Chains A and B, each alone.
Chain A
Amino acid sequence: MNETHVHAHPPAADDPSSGYEPLERAIRELLIEKGILDAAAIRRRIEAMDGLTPANGARLVARAWTDPAFKARLLEDAAGLLAEEGYELEHSPTVRIVENTEGVHNVIVCTLCSCYPRMVLGLPPAWYKKKAYRARVVREPRAVLAEFGTELPDDVEVRVHDSTADLRYIVLPRRPEGTEDMDEEALAALVTRDALIGTAPARAPGDT
């Protein structure tokens, strides 16, 4: 500790702009006090959420790339398929998968709040929740995509999905060229979180 650092300022909060933290604490403590929840149940729920990662989406994409029947089902009835795969969707919004093609590039946003396919991919990245991304990707999607390093030709339709209601969207990116001989596990390693949101394509083999 630096002895010369004088604490004239109050201790820095993690997020001084938010009044929700004390509110969350008050409600949590009340629920525990009334016996409706206990701390272990809350911890288990957090662990379950932390166990959901973009790797889940990557596995689905890799399987869709290699198994046409699985892909057809994924595009037709993702929610039904995911429930069969063991995802807990009973109290979740419906999930829909949108496919990138030669002519259409999809990108996901929630302008109203921060809706995200958490029940499959876990928590969204911080930028996904920021007003800058939410406001800009609907009105200048190509400029935002370019900032992610994704430049698309004019004849590709950029299709923004604003998750305004009861559905959550996941992008099925295009399978990169030169991946014909790769197995599902190697293919899944090419599918990043950003590819599942649509701000980037899947990585090419050999890209790091």
Chain B
Amino acid sequence: MIEIGARVRVDDRFHAGHHRVPGYLKGREGVVTACLGRFPNPEALAYFRPGDPPLALYQVRFRQADLWDGYAGGPADTLDADIYEHWLQPLEDRP
């Protein structure tokens, strides 16, 4: 279970086959803003397997300035994405 407010990094790994992590978020750091419930693993569902056990799904908020070099929008702009627990690494709080 990842706490709301925890800093996390999205795993930067190759996955052969269907998965729901966009490439532009792999390796990026954000903050967990909500736990959205548990859902069957889409990486199994896509191949007609049941996807058990269901995985916790988290809403993760990223700062746009952290995602794109030279981001042209406002400094407070953010992006939310829904990421399953097995793609998230909690980070130690750093000063």
Q: Report whether over half of chain B's contact residues are helix, strand or loop; otherwise say mixed.
A: mixed
Which residues from A are CB-within-8-Å of B47? none
B22 touches A111 (CB 8 A): yes
A156 touches B39 (CB 8 A): no
A139 touches B81 (CB 8 A): no
Query: Interface size bucket, A side?
Result: 20 to 34
Which residues from B are CB-within-8-Å of A154? 73-75
Query: Interface size bucket, B side?
Result: 20 to 34
Q: A165-B82, A165-B84 are in contact. Are A159 and B77 (CB under 8 A)?
A: yes
A sample of 18 inter-chain contacts (CB < 8 A) reads: A154-B75, A157-B74, A157-B77, A157-B78, A158-B73, A158-B78, A159-B61, A160-B64, A160-B77, A160-B80, A161-B80, A162-B79, A162-B82, A164-B22, A165-B20, A165-B57, A166-B42, A166-B57
Which 4 A-B pairs rank lowest in CB-CB distance, beginning with the nearest? A165-B82, A157-B76, A154-B74, A162-B81
Task: List residues of B whose CB falls within 8 A of some A CB.
Answer: 20-22, 24, 36-37, 39, 42, 57, 61, 64, 67-68, 71-84
